């Protein structure tokens, strides 16, 4: 893929020559990093490239919009996740795709030229690209599942196809996997096995999510209530460390607490505080692994008065103590 950024003069500038490359030959993995901060275009890209798979993380902290010109000569199957900010993907001969913060989808994408518009102030996106040949291995034995059969048919026709008709919400478990890609503690063959296992887990979560959504009966929720519940979820994604109550959350979006509790479970298949717990515990695990913080420091960050209360909650969520995470 060729990636170019639009500068203040409207010119598209390629930064491929400025890649910092690290290769782990035993893992069959190459990591590339682009940083355009010194060029006045404040974004950065990290790529993990394996055979038939590429993982791309784009990150920007800026008040200005970013426009990336992308060109791809081969078709791919992309699992795209908008962690923060907004994205508008415009490609020749394909329908535009819009992602709000927290949304994701799996899309078959033929060769294309197009633009990726990113709107902040904080923008973070992940794209996991599978080669069509590799992805077909997962489809070969899945006949009879309508949405997968439909995807396979459009892949045969080299026609763009989204797995879900509307972008679902990325779950905390999905987000934890994405961050694990960038912070894998292993090297060599162990790293390769770890990444491949996480890729399969991520695919399973996405497909199960779409399957559950399509088999779920109509929610009966009004559109304005759905919009308010999505606003609540997005707020939780950004402020999950902030102490709050159901009543405060409900009042902030104009819902009563009963509608909030029932509607959130209906729409997202979890409770408000179940979702909040997922966010907090996955964040705690990241702090322990990535920033090497102590258990006491993480407990304090999450607002626990006593470390053993945090350890108990962590073990209840993951099945092991936080002190065992680095063992």
pLDDT, tens digit, 9 for 90 and up, residues 225-269? 888 888 888 888 878 888 889 999 999 999 998 989 988 888 877
pLDDT for 212 equals 76
pLDDT band at 290 (very low <50, low <70, confident <90, very high): low
State which fold the 223-324 domain adopts.
Arc Repressor Mutant, subunit A (1.10.10)
pLDDT for 17 equals 45
State whether the Cα torsion 183-185-186-192 is positive or negative. negative
Instruction: Determine contact, residues 108/132, Cβ cutoff 8 Å.
Output: yes
Region 288-293: mean pLDDT is: 76
pLDDT for 205 equals 92
pLDDT for 216 equals 57
* Cα–Cα distance for residue pair 311/315, rounded to 1 Å: 6
Higher pLDDT residue, 142 or 175?
175
58 pLDDT exceeds 90?
no
Q: Which residues lie closer than 8 Å to 16 by C-beta, 6 or more apart?
A: 2, 3, 34
pTM of model > 0.95: no
18 pLDDT exceeds 60?
no
The dihedral over CA atoms of 17, 19, 25, 29, expressed in degrees to the nearest 10, equals: -120
pLDDT for 301 equals 92
Higher pLDDT residue, 120 or 164?
164
40 pLDDT exceeds 60?
no
Region 256-285: mean pLDDT is: 87
Region 152-164: mean pLDDT is: 89
Instruction: Determine contact, residues 102/174, Cβ cutoff 8 Å.
Output: no
Region 275-300: mean pLDDT is: 86
For the stretch 84-118, pLDDT in tens is 888 888 776 677 788 877 889 999 988 878 887 77
- Burial degree of 289 (CB within 10 A; 0-12, 13-18, 19+): middle
Region 39-53: mean pLDDT is: 78
* Cα–Cα distance for residue pair 274/284, rounded to 1 Å: 15
| Per-residue 3-state assignment (H helix, E strand, C coil) for 303-317 | CCCCHHHHHHHHHHH
For the stretch 188-233, pLDDT in tens is 889 889 999 999 999 999 998 888 776 655 567 787 888 888 888 8
pLDDT for 19 equals 61
Architecture of the 2-215 domain: Sandwich (2.60)
pLDDT for 10 equals 65
Q: Report percent pLDDT > 70 for the chain.
A: 85
Q: What is the residue extent of each domain of the chain? A: 2-215, 223-324
């Amino acid at each position: 893929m060729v990636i170019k950024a639009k500068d203040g003069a409207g010119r598209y500038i390629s930064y491929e020559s400025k890649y910092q490359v690290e290769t782990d030959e035993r893992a069959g993995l190459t990591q590339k990093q682009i940083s355009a901060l010194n060029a006045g275009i404040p974004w950065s890209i990290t790529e993990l490239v394996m055979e038939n798979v590429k993982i791309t993380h784009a990150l920007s902290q800026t008040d200005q919009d970013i426009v990336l010109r992308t060109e791809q000569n081969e078709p791919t199957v992309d699992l795209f996740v908008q962690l923060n900010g907004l994205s508008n993907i415009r490609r020749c001969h394909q329908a535009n795709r819009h992602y709000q913060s927290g949304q994701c989808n799996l899309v078959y994408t033929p060769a294309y030229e197009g633009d990726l518009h990113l709107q902040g102030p904080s923008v973070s996106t992940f794209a996991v690209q599978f080669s069509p040949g590799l992805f077909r291995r997962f489809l070969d034995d899945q006949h009879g599942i309508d949405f997968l059969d439909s995807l396979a048919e459009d892949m045969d026709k080299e026609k763009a196809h989204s797995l879900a008709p509307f972008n679902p919400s990325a779950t905390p478990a999905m987000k934890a996997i994405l961050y694990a890609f960038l912070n894998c503690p292993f090297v060599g063959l162990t790293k390769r096995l770890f990444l491949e296992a996480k890729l399969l887990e991520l695919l399973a979560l996405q497909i199960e999510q779409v399957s559950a959504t399509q088999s779920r009966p109509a929610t009966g929720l009004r559109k304005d209530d759905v919009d308010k519940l999505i606003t609540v979820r997005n707020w939780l994604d950004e402020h999950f460390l902030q102490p709050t109550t159901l009543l405060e959350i409900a009042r902030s979006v104009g819902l009563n607490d009963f509608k909030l509790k029932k509607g959130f479970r209906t729409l997202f298949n979890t409770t408000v505080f179940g979702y909040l717990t997922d966010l907090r515990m996955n964040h705690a695990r990241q702090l322990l692994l990535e920033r090497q913080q102590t258990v006491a420091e993480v407990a304090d960050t999450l607002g626990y008065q006593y470390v053993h209360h945090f350890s108990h909650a962590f073990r209840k969520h993951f099945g092991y103590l936080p002190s065992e995470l680095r063992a």
